[in-house]
Structure 1
Amino acid sequence: MPFNQRAPVDTHQVAHIYFEEFFMTDMMVLKTQQWLNKTYKGRYNFGSVTEDGATGWETINALIRALQIELGITQTVNNFGPGTTSRFKSRWPSGIAQQAAGAKDTSNVYAIIQGALWCKGYSVGSAEITTHFYGGTGAAIKKMKADMGIGGDSHVDVLTMKSLLSMDQFKLLVRHGANSSVRNIQQTLNGKYRTYTGIIPADGLYGRQMNTALIQVLQKLEGYSPSQATGNFGAGTRKNLKTVSSSSSGEWVWLASAALVCNRKAVQVTSTWDNSMANAVKSFQKDYALPVTGVVDTTTWMSLLTSKGNPDRVAKACDCATVLSARQAKDLKNAGYTHVGRYLTGTVGKERRSKALNIDEIKNITATGLSVFPIYQDGGYYSDYFSYAGQGNIDGLTAIGAAKALGFPRGTTIYFAVDFDAYEFQIDKLILPYFKRIKAAFNSAENSKAYKVGIYGPRLVCSKVTEAGYASYSFVADMSTGFSGNLGYPIPRNWAFDQFHEFTFHSSPAFPLDKDAYSGRDKATKTFDKVPYKSAHSLEYDNAFRLIDAAKKAFVQAVLEPLNLFEQLSTIHWRFDQKIPLNTFNGRDVTIVTSMVASVGIGTTSSNPNAIDIKVNNDGTLTAGTRSAISSASAKFKVKDLGTNLDFSQRITSIAASIKGGNISTSLTSSGPTNFTGSITVTSPELAPKGSGLSEHVTVTLSYEVTFHPHTSPDFHLPEVSVDGALVGVAVVALAVLFVAGAVASGGTAIPAEGALLEGLAGLAVL
């Protein structure tokens, strides 16, 4: 699974934590925002800041622009860069000093400092933003410096000012799993090494900035100057490494123990080599599948401070996108490899060369005694791939089918790829829902061999997916050392394979190969189940149709889930073009039978002229036009004696947001004064993969057959309805069907036995 070269992530991106305790509305932050707009709005390139009382980059950047204006910079930017630094040092060579009590001179810079302190959570002792720098502001600066670990007076030098005008935090973030020992290390780095590292967060969380700072300290110990100590672990840094052992003491031991604390292998730092230190080193080496030497050697240093570690170290596992010949498989075995990762489906390169494992290749591999761990990746190189949550169903079902066809035995772990540097907000919004759908597919009747879900990706992605309960093992993408999801994160506890180096493996012919460390957790597959033989071409053909079939099933799920009806379907074997009963509700006054027909090959446009086309923005949200169409159509219908559509529009919007394409139409038919059927019909967009030459669609029709019981009233009739081109069977269908059936399916409230039926239905609308 080779990566292309990737640039380091912008340091202004939030790497691994949302400081939500600082995002809440705060009166003094609001006053800071109001002061900024009053003072600078319309000046130079300041723009404005939202007045919402929430600390975030928008407010911090506004404070930076304000400072730049005060420094005479007319083209302000959201960055405290070299130009701002130079002008600050020129204006205040010794830093900004606290005013004497009662001093009359004022400065907007003092107000900027106050606003930044409030955004950091430090009180300046005043209920207003002022243009003075008195004792309250000075005390807040001292408190922040103490939290940083630098101590000292209330002077604000350029490093302190940079820290003020950042999202860095200096209080222990206990709610986010902060570690006091990590914070002590951070404070030591700030107090002793800041000429090399600058001031880093002192929040107790091991992250990108701290990892870089540890490398800069290493470079200092190796003799580099502050300007030479970039924090990049290159060939020079490796060459000058010193082995730390029982004969060592001082800063080298301190740094090694600090790295062990950050990697969860030591409790506290030490400058003296002792038994605890020796045991921590051995434990780290064992857990990372390194040679257990008991000393901090080159390989250990590199694994402590970079994700990929020493690329020259021996590996037992590997993975590749090459369909292996008998000769290539044998050469891998002879080179010392015991496990090889191979793709279940797909192609690679512009020439679309197959990378898919096939039955002949399995024979080549197993004949040598190699074990195979399967990888599924037909995308996943960018965030948009994960924007449709149904993609998880598609990939999960496709992978299960492909693994069965190849004979992977019961309990095999299949690794699904997240092959880009996902930030935490992308993991939460896109990746976790994707794996939730994969997990649902693996929990369905389709997974008759009880295959397990594995995750391939950067360390943070693997850890979060695992913690959510969606993956059994991790295949870690550690080659990309610049990934924000790798820098500053320990390896996931459940790691099975750790990809750390790509090179050309010499065989006949030579081919690209990734070296993977092997933990032994996933034994992989050495013996395959007997399956009917199919050629590579036939398997590729089957996989294409399997993917389409999975896409159709995922679309059905996307329609049913917003109505709380999918659980019933996920536990049974069902077929297209067949009426499937989903739920029956028997109440005192009414019976509602819910069923579904999912038809294939219907086309892309409903015959209903009032059908609404579903369109989405680039970020996957519904367009304003689609939302407006749903709202307008929903508002047209009226139910006499009830006079409301309740949250009907919200339910249709939920379906539209789930399917992200196609269209929705509805109908209402009556077969008597107490019987009617309401239907919602949802038609998919094109489901066939681009370039496949195929055209595939699926139409899901949900029918709600409603029967009012004769004892309700001898002269009972349906309420008078005005459709007027309405979106759906309005009347009681919108009320009873969408809400009662959905509520019953999810264990909601039953219709009350006493009282008017419509009042009971109205009461259910909150569900």
Structure 2
Amino acid sequence: MDIKVKEAQIWVNDLCEGVAGYIPCGEDGVVGQGTMRSLIMGLQHVLFTSAEYPAQVSGVFGPTTLSLLEGWGDIGMSTTSPNICNLVRHGLWCKGYSGGFTDGVIDQEVADSIYALRADIGVVSGSFVSPKVFKALLTTDPYKLADGGNDWLRLAQKHLNLNYVDIPAFSICPTDGLPSRNYQQSLMMGIQSEIGIAPSQITGLFGPGTQAGLKTAPFQLSQTSYSVPITALFVAACLMNEGYFDGTKYTIDWRKQYTQEVTEFVTAFQKFSKLANTNGSADFDTWAQLLVSSGNPDRLHRRIASDCISEITPSRGAALYNAGYRTVGRYLDEDTERIPEEDWLYKWIQEGELESIFGAGLHCFPISQYYGGAIGEFTYANGVNEATKAHLKAVEYGFEAGTCIYFAVDYDALDSEVTSNILPYFRGVREGLQSQGGRYTAGVYGSRNVCIRVSAAGLAKWSFVSGMSWGFSGNQGYPLPPNWVFNQIKEANFVVSSSDSFGLDSNIARYDSVLGVDHVQADTSREEYLDRLDAIYDAIFSGGWVDHFDPDSTDDTGRNWNANVLAHFYLKQSQFGEALDGDPSAGDVDRALPLLDVKGWVEHAMGVFGNGRSTAVHVFEDLNVNFAKAFAAVSPLTVMRTNPIPLGGEPMISTRRGPIGDMARLYNQWRNRRGEYPSGFDFCQQYMGRFGVPSFLTVADYMATNYGRMIRYFSTPSGDENAARPLYNAALRSAWEYSLTDAIGFFASGTAAGMAASLREEFVEVSQIDSNATDVHDSWRKELLLEVGSAQGQIDKLPHQLAAAELDGFISGYVDRMIAMSNGDF
């Protein structure tokens, strides 16, 4: 509590006691919106009474309040109204400046504070309070550098306040060094002023006049542009978009010249945003992309994605393809339980529709939105429920394992609401998907801020940005998320023919490899799968990629043509697609295998076989295992991470399977249900590898891990380190001679105590996470055990933080279930 803030609260409540419409503030000594609203009402009470207006107290500092305040001129040491002086004094105390100790006057101490406030704001120096400074004084906006604030951006904020404060609609911008909605609007007003829009017409909106002005010659900037106001505003726009571009963090210093450093920043930004121009100069598309979340809504480059609520018929699919689209987002379901049937939109995928989409040459990505239009819908329980329903619908449609489902936040969620509701909802989504075996991954649809925060919490792999809603507060002042794959830029009526049209959202697509799916799952037998794999190896050998049946051979130039790695890259090409498309994440592959022409091989293989699909193989009884996962456990490269960790780290390659990964996922579920299952041993007995039990470690998960380990075992040379590594298809044949129970038992050898001790040592080591993890292995650990806290959906402690007996109980339960499963207890 601040005693001076409490005095301000008591004073204004006394001043306005009995005033119609006045809302008293709490007298708790804590500054907040309520306190500032009451001070504004106090000012309005004084102004309207003095002007002989009918008393009007709204708590909103609007044009009338500003106009009446202008009639008082500048407020300073000569001001004689005790109430006006006290409003300035109490406002200063609430802002963290000294408001002096003499009631009803502005003395030298107060004048010095006003001088300091004006310096922090960036306006012309002085010891007087102009009307707009008075307005700034009665907000909760900060005017000192915030924790995590950027000194260079703060200079840009001051620049805007100094040069454009006289625009009628301009409100003083916070100078905390943080990008924000206010900063974006202030910047837009400065741009409109430089375009030549009349001051009375300046709104801060990205309208037709602003767009037309940005297309004119003065705004086409490059390194030949020197110190002009437009260049300063352009750099200010760049500062608002700093971040991780394809895995590398880019920042820029405040300056008024278009230097080489500006060119380099803009080039990286253009590539990251998938603009047509990537030469570092400022054309209209670049300006638009820097200023608003939609960018240029009419841009064509990479506008190959779409989404809609309408059925895609064969004719619509053909029309979309001919118009340049290559994928369409469609809904898995609709909230038919709560919505009356007469209000159904029938937005879910219709019978035979996927065949129409694929037949037209399009991909499809699934969206889940049962409601999603208000804060009250976003709860942990709803996340679990809706993710479970989305899983069942996706399985019904035949979407393969690994498909990303985008869960929608279709309203303007404030940052505080992201914390209170959106993150708990997505923790529930994670719980729901994992409890069904983790067949699908979660993506997020929403504003930039929603996407950034959900993804940084490790709760979404990909971001689908609602960029066309550029008025959302979550889209203003925030950069594109590091893991964005779709940016929704425009809604329009798509005309198929004179008799058919439908509403379509146009999206920019970042990667060809994350467009969605071009088929749905069909089971195949082991024999069919092996035949396909044999054909892949035949293509490797007969195509000259490897000279003979030696999977580790090299050609005359010394390039390493490892047959197993080539087979792996083809089978997993969709996950490695970012590297194959030439994005910076290719550096991960280059560092791992610098002499392997991955792109050349995959293009060759796709020309022979088409897309590399992860086919579901019928293994035994009614279980399916996606053997792309098995290959992930075997390959020297394992699996490429594509979602940054956290807050924009670079894409990485890391192992994500194996018994420690399985155990970590199961541990997360236990710690989230520790109230029901205090004993980790009991929890494992109930939830590990049980048919029909929603678990983070299902029988199918465990089967994939153990067959993957079997394949690795049989593809590893024994004895001679120089021996050629056996081919994976041969390893598969050897592994498949074992039943599931034999495969589990193969690795469940030795004493239970010995296995527990070994696993415990590895698990504790995994959980000791570097909070600033950048190393591949540290980042993998952070992903497996990311959130630690008290909220629902978070774990309370990392494994190494548990009491030894408590952790040992969980690990003993895990080992006990391993042994039981090897004996057929599912």
Aligned-residue offset at 1:565 = 6.2
Q: Does 1:54 align with 2:30?
A: yes
Deviation at 1:506, TM superposition (A): 2.1
CA contact (8 A) 1:142 1:151 kept: no
Aligned counterpart in structure 1 of residue 84 of structure 2, from 105, 109, 112 = 109
What is the Cα deviation at residue 67 of structure 1?
1.6
What residue number does 1:193 align with?
164
Cα offset for 1:164?
A: 0.5
State the 1:748 CA deviation: 11
Question: What SS does the corresponding residue of 1:475 show, helix, strand or coil?
Answer: strand
**Distance (whole Å) between structure 2 residues aligned to residue 495 and residue 745 of structure 1:** 41
Task: Spell out, residue by residue over 1:424-458, the C-alpha distance to the aligned partner (whole angstroms, 9 max, x if none).
Answer: 222111111110011112222x1353x21100011
Count of equivalent residues: 527
Matched residue, 2:185: 212
1:244 counterpart residue number: 221
CA gap 1:288/1:66 in 2 versus in 1, 3 angstroms: same
Question: Which one of 470, 482, 486 corresponds to residue 481 of structure 1?
Answer: 470
- DSSP 3-state at the match of 2:474: coil
User: Is the contact between residue 509 and residue 515 of structure 2 (CA under 8 Å) also seen in structure 1?
Assistant: no
Q: State the Cα deviation string for residues 468-526 of structure 1 (Å, max 9, x = none).
A: 11111100011111111112211111101111111122225322111111111735212
Return the letter of the residue paired with 2:262.
M
Farther off after superposition, 302-311 or 106-115: 106-115
Q: State the distance in 1 between where 2:321 and 2:298 align.
A: 18
Read off the aligned partner of 1:284 and give its amino acid letter: F
> 1:224-263, aligned counterparts within 5 Å?
224-241=197-214, 242=216, 243-249=220-226, 250-263=228-241
- 1:420 is matched with 411
Structure 1 vs Structure 2 CA RMSD: 3.0
User: Which residue of the partner structure matches residue 270 of structure 2?
Assistant: 285
For residue 494 of structure 1, the aligned residue among 442, 460, 483 is 483
Aligned to 1:679: none
What is the distance in 2 between the residues matched to 1:169 and 1:448? Answer: 44
- Aligned match of 2:68: 87
Give the unaligned 5+ runs of structure 2: 50-54, 243-249, 525-668, 694-790, 793-801, 810-826
1:149 corresponds to: 122
Deviates more, 1:242-251 or 1:217-226: 242-251
2:300 paired with 1:310 = no
Q: How does 1:123-134 map to 2 (within 5 A)?
A: 123-124=98-99, 126=100, 128=101, 130-134=103-107
Q: In 2 relative to 1, CA 129–290 (structure 1 residues): closer, same or farther, beyond 3 Å? A: farther
Contact 1:405/1:531 (8 A) holds in 2: no
1:251 positional shift? 1.5
8 Å CA contact 1:341–1:374 kept in 2: the answer is: yes
Offset at 1:291?
0.7
The structural deviation recorded for 1:266 is 4.3
Q: Report the CA distance between 1:130 and its aligned residue.
A: 2.1
Which residue of structure 2 aligns with residue 385 of structure 1? 377
The corresponding residue for 1:472 is 461
Determine if the alignment matches structure 1 residue 31 to structure 2 residue 7: yes
Corresponding residue of 1:299: 285
Helix, strand or coil for the counterpart of 1:296? coil
Task: Tell me, yes or no, if structure 1 residue 406 matches structure 2 residue 391.
Answer: no
The answer as to whether partners of 2:252 and 2:265 remain within 8 angstroms in 1 is no
Please say which of residues 159-168 and 193-202 is displaced more in the overlay: 193-202
Is 2:150 aligned against 1:179? yes
Within 5 A, what are the aligned runs for 1:256-271?
A: 256-264=234-242, 266-271=251-256
Cα distance in 2 between the residues matched to 1:155 and 1:168: 19
State how far apart, in whole Å, the 2-side matches of 1:507 and 1:358 are: 19
Cα distance in 2 between the residues matched to 1:564 and 1:135: 66
Pair 1:346-2:313 in alignment: no
Matching residue within 449, 454, 479 for 2:443: 454
Asked whether the equivalents of residues 32 and 129 of structure 1 are also in contact (C-alpha less than 8 Å), the reply is no
Q: Which amino acid aligns with 2:437?
A: N
CA gap 1:62/1:571 in 2 versus in 1, 3 angstroms:
farther
Asked whether the equivalents of residues 679 and 806 of structure 2 are also in contact (C-alpha less than 8 Å), the reply is no
Distance 1:562 1:434, change over 3 A: farther
Output the CA distance in 1 between the equivalents of 2:318 and 2:447: 30
Q: Secondary structure at the match of 1:279?
A: helix
**TM superposition shift of 1:293:** 4.4
Deviations 1:411-431 (A, max 9, x none): 111100011111122211111
Unaligned ranges ≥5, structure 1: 1-24, 533-555, 577-656, 659-742, 751-767
Amino acid at match of 1:245: S
Q: Decide whether aligned partners of structure 1 residues 471 and 570 sit closer, same or farther in structure 2, where only a CA change above 3 A counts.
A: farther
- Superposition deviation, residue 749 in structure 1: 14
Partner residue in 1 for 2:509? 518
Please show how residues 553-568 of structure 1 align to structure 2 within 5 Å. Answer: 563=676, 568=683
Q: Deviations over 1:623-660 (max 9, x none)?
A: xxxxxxxxxxxxxxxxxxxxxxxxxxxxxxxxxx99xx
Question: Could you tell me which of 352, 365, 368 is aligned with 1:373?
Answer: 365
Partner Cα separation in structure 1 for residue 183 and residue 30 of structure 2: 26
Deviation at residue 69 of structure 1 after TM alignment: 2.2
User: CA shift at 1:153, angstroms?
Assistant: 1.4
In the aligned structure 2, how far is the partner of 1:411 from the partner of 1:342? 17
Match of 1:362 among 350, 354, 358: 354
Per the alignment, do residues 79 and 351 of structure 1 end up closer, same or farther by CA in structure 2, a change over 3 Å counting? closer
- Taking the aligned partners of 1:138 and 1:122, their CA distance within structure 2 comes to 11
Deviations 1:229-281 (A, max 9, x none): 11111111111223222333312222112111111154123332232222222
Identity %: 33
Q: Secondary structure at the match of 2:200?
A: coil
Letter matched to residue 392 of structure 2: G
* Displacement after TM superposition at 1:563 (Å): 4.5
TM-score (norm 2): 0.60
Give the Cα separation in 1 of the matches to 2:360 and 2:307. Answer: 16
Cα distance change, pair 334–35 in 1 and its aligned pair in 2 (3 A): same
Distance 1:400 1:83, change over 3 A: same
Return the letter of the residue paired with 1:30. Answer: K
Q: 1:511 to 1:746 in 2, by over 3 A?
A: farther
AA partner of residue 222 (structure 2)? S
Structure 1 distance, partners of 2:3, 2:406, is 48
Which residue identity lines up with residue 147 of structure 1 in the other structure? D
Supply the distance in 1 between the matched residues of 2:171 and 2:77 (Cα, whole angstroms): 23
TM-superposed deviation, 1:185: 0.4
For the structure 1 residues 744 and 275, does the alpha-carbon distance in structure 2 shift closer, same or farther, using more than 3 Å as the test? closer
Matched residue of 2:485: which SS? strand
The residue identity in structure 1 corresponding to 2:166 is T
Residue 354 of structure 1 aligns to a residue in which SS?
A: coil
Aligned pair in 2 of structure 1 residues 381, 488: CA closer, same or farther (>3 Å)? same
User: Which range moves more in the overlay, 235-244 or 410-419?
Assistant: 235-244
Please say if 1:165 is aligned against 2:165: no
More helix by share: 2
Given candidates 57, 76, 91, the residue that maps to 1:97 is: 76
Give 1:37 deviation, angstroms.
2.8
Q: Is the 8 A contact 1:560 1:566 kept in 2?
A: no
- Whichever residue aligns with residue 463 of structure 2, its letter is S
1 CA distance for matches of 2:47 and 2:805?
Answer: 61
Determine the C-alpha separation between the residues in 1 that align with 2:23 and 2:262: 54
Residues 1:170 and 1:481: Cα distance change in structure 2 (over 3 Å): same
One-letter amino acid of the counterpart of residue 434, structure 1: Y
- Please give the alpha-carbon distance, in whole angstroms, between the structure 2 residues aligned to 1:248 and 1:47: 53
Q: Secondary structure at the match of 2:475?
A: coil
Contact 1:347 1:353 survives alignment (8 Å): no
| Kept after mapping to 2: 8 A contact 1:413/1:452 | yes
